[in-house]
Chains A and B, each alone.
Chain A
């Protein structure tokens, strides 16, 4: 079904008005040799009933997180989402609306973005947030470009403890545009600050540190910031887990210049890795360099409070090749989900989520380290993720636990870390579920 309203009779009436006999006359200017003679070679069309059955069969081949006891994270997190979030984002008023360029009939979307910006500023301690980016990785890449626009320098230092997916995307975005990437080595699971100190100089444009980092460890942002400030113009880019910020330092407390992160954990389902959304916030002095949309408060001609897309002179539809970014569509509905989530949870709820995740992760880490053949890789403070050294191959452990429907963590060997598992715990994990993982690990031979 192609969801077309008009009947053959109506189409005929319309063609008569246009003054043609048939559709082909309308496209007579397209050279005949280009025109397809047959329909596209796609499957035979299905009715709504049939596609429902087909989809049921296909998705049955997936094992979802709810049907397994999974401890997966590494950037995508399975936090609890109140039902009210989907009740709002599935409203067509939000879901099928276009980008809010016509402010007078888009106040709902615009005010929601303004509230989102406020919440992100509260969370990060920054002064301005944009309306969202594609994901944490592209937000990190755009933050590096933003810093380089500001200080007109190109040397960029990235900690090796950053999420490898971020690093991959950063490489794609910065290749061939004059940015020089250098990687700060890790030491005991955190950024090696002495090495950073050696690498810093006045040509340094920015330094990107993730905390909690890819291994779950909390970086000493205060010490790092001191080193960053030794360089004249270098900007401090901080990648964060938004949930952690309910109990860990707001990046403003360690004087970060630009804060980015993956926002999925705030009210968005994992959905096999997408859609996600990135957040990007900064000090006010960087506002003109910011990529993406920004909503501002203003008034209408009657003096009534109103919201509108603002600072548009940065954007592609005005500045074209001189724009701060090419971004147009972002991940608006995902940022709306995060807005609803943050409002529902409030200050106390988000703190509870963070505390539950952290304390449960610490319980699990402590107990795993007591099991023969498993030990904690690092001794750093961590949030909700930690790395476990295994004497057996992680893949073997994963296969052993598969029969019990347990996914113990991410095998880090594909990132070059041999015999290591990254284990993640959120508030959704009960002690019973964690104990069943522990029992299963004890039985691995």
Chain B
């Protein structure tokens, strides 16, 4: 295990240069000493080379897209083009201050305007805010818009958001943060929204329905028209979680199949890097009569001049970000869309869906696919249940040897893959959620299939190797119970 940077510190060593002070001011004279820091600042004292070696050493302990396949369901870990990175590192993008006069940032505003327009076209909606910086903040923003819509009409009682039990955890958490109540309905035996269950909870308090489509099982909700009809009949609004948008780009427009509000996960669908957990971007698109509730400002254009519009300030839900969202991430998305165009986007989804179906077909005899509808969209959910059943046996010392999904996932790490998303969605037992994305080749998929089949063999013939996995990763299975019990969240000398 790598030393901590603090353990590499040597007194007096430094990793920076700064110019000499060219003004003759003694700051101690301009401030009462009680405001000056008393306690020592224990930052590491290291050279630039120390810092570079340290973080390069850490970097070698990570899995990342360029190293290997990342079949994380619901996360859309596609390849992130390098041209985006090169182009976004231009001084005329990096070194722009948000309070600069608007005439000095016309290029930045043009990019934002064009992206608002393109995202609205893809969503089939009227307008898009780029302010939310993550999917969850997009959900929060969209839900606040829904609430504002009802309050604007004087319907203060409409504060219940219905969502299926297959929803991402952020969905109910965002509903709570937006000050509304969650009603969760069970999915039917096919893994789809249960219309009867939905009808039984819809009433005058229903503010809206939140749905991921395709849903978290990788299945297109075919009853979407009926669902929208039920929700709209009580003046509820339809919210689409765009986490799985990679499946339907240019195939259907959410705004044309009954949805009124949606958020993008720009960092999934539009190929911006995940950064080890962010920054992402969670743009929100809405239908025409909801535009006035979006956060201000939007970028408008008049006579070829771009400007920040605050015209909806009175009706807006307010700001969700200090400035204009994750601008640098949105620039990458803009570049992506300009490089792909309508045809390229359609190819993205076609290939994502073909790749997922190919994987499912090749694995369905070996791994249980609980909701197998013959075809899936861009991902599918398998289960470790067959392996669990087959590989439960008593050891000589009476301990039970039982293989779980977790073990299969850990064994994949040994074989150079990132594990799929596991134990989600919650409605599938021992879930293994696999999303290959469109950028992976057939060779990569074939190798992954081979690995999955090998692991199944190992489960039967050599379960210990699966139970002990991983063994060739930088660390082996970590003790997360200890991490909580002996909480250690910072280095102390």
Contacts and interface: CB of A to CB of B under 8 A. Distances in A.
A404 interface: no
Interface residues of B, number: 195
Interface in B297-329: 317-329
A320 B184 CA distance: 11
B177 interface: yes
A346 B94 CA distance: 24
Nearest to B345: A40
A279 B34 CA distance: 25
A104 B476 contact: yes
Contacts of A5: 439-442, 444
Contacts of A356: 18-19, 21
B19 A103 contact: no
Interface string A129-140: 101101111100
B341 to A, nearest CB: 3
Interface in A71-85: 72, 74-76, 78, 80, 82, 84
B80 interface: yes
Interface stretch (B197-205, B247-255, B284-292): B247-255
B154 interface: no
A300 interface: yes
Contact of B474 (A107, A171, A299, A358): A107
B461 interface: no
Contacts of B419: 102
Given A40-B345, A301-B479, A342-B43, A272 B324 contact: yes
A45 B340 contact: yes
A296 B489 contact: yes
Interface stretch (A200-208, A305-313, A437-445): A305-313
Contacts of B35: 218, 248-249, 381
Given A322-B176, A353-B18, A310 B484 contact: yes
Interface in A343-373: 343-353, 355-356, 358-360, 362-363, 366
A2 B267 contact: no
Nearest to A56: B90
Given A30-B222, A323-B173, A102 B22 contact: no
Given A26-B354, A93-B64, A270 B478 contact: no
Contact of A60 (B6, B107, B478, B483): B107
Interface string B420-463: 00001000000000000011111010000000000000000000
Interface stretch (B232-240, B356-364, B385-393): B356-364
Contact of B41 (A123, A165, A334): A123
B79 A172 contact: no
A289 interface: no
Contacts of A270: 94-98
Given A13-B442, A274-B326, A300 B106 contact: no
A26 B375 contact: yes
Interface string B14-32: 1110110111111100111
B482 A298 contact: yes
Nearest to B346: A39
Contact of B111 (A18, A58, A287): A58
A29 B375 contact: yes
A330 B90 contact: no
Contacts of B257: 34
A199 interface: no
A65 B488 CA distance: 41
B100 A407 contact: yes
Contacts, number: 668
Nearest to A102: B419
A60 B92 CA distance: 7
A432 B326 CA distance: 34
B477 A300 contact: yes
Interface stretch (A46-54, A152-160, A181-189, A226-234): A46-54
Contact of B48 (A84, A262, A295, A363): A84
B442 A52 contact: no
Contacts of B90: 55, 59
In this complex, the member of B61, B94, B173, B275 whose beta carbon has the largest number of chain A beta carbons within 10 angstroms is B275
Contact of A129 (B168, B172, B362, B489): B489
Interface string A325-342: 111111111101000101
B279 A176 contact: no
B490 interface: yes
Nearest to B358: A14
B194 interface: no
B105 A272 contact: yes
Contact of A36 (B253, B339, B479): B253
A319 B425 CA distance: 14
A247 interface: yes
Contacts of B105: 62-63, 272
A69 interface: no
Contact of B484 (A2, A39, A80, A311): A311
B398 interface: no
A358 to B, nearest CB: 5
B186 interface: no
Interface string A265-304: 0000111111111000000000100000111111111101
A177 B18 contact: no
B357 A26 contact: yes
A42 B175 CA distance: 33
Contact of B16 (A123, A272, A297, A346): A346
A36 B251 contact: yes
B249 to A, nearest CB: 8
Contact of B96 (A19, A62, A92): A62
Interface in B253-292: 253, 256-257, 267, 271, 273-280
Contacts of A193: none
Contacts of B249: 40
Contacts of B67: 92-93
Contacts of B42: 122, 347
A164 B60 CA distance: 42
A299 B324 contact: no
Contacts of A353: 18
A21 interface: no
In this complex, the member of A6, A402, A434 whose beta carbon has the largest number of chain B beta carbons within 10 angstroms is A6
B276 A31 contact: no
B65 interface: yes
B234 to A, nearest CB: 20
Interface string B61-104: 11111110010100101111101010101111111111111001
A88 B66 CA distance: 16
Contacts of B56: 88, 91
B15 A345 contact: yes
B149 interface: no
B207 to A, nearest CB: 12
Interface string B366-385: 00000001010100000000
A377 interface: no
Nearest to B376: A26
A61 B99 CA distance: 16
Contacts of A293: 277
Nearest to A63: B104
A258 interface: no
A2 to B, nearest CB: 4
A286 B159 CA distance: 30
Interface string A86-97: 111011111111
29 contacts: A1-B344, A3-B78, A3-B81, A4-B438, A6-B354, A11-B354, A18-B354, A29-B220, A35-B251, A51-B83, A100-B277, A122-B43, A168-B319, A169-B321, A173-B177, A218-B35, A247-B36, A274-B325, A296-B484, A297-B483, A297-B489, A315-B169, A326-B177, A332-B277, A344-B51, A346-B43, A346-B44, A346-B45, A349-B15
Given A4-B438, A311-B487, A331-B275, 12 more contacts: A6-B442, A15-B354, A46-B339, A64-B96, A66-B95, A70-B97, A92-B67, A105-B418, A273-B324, A277-B279, A306-B475, A329-B277
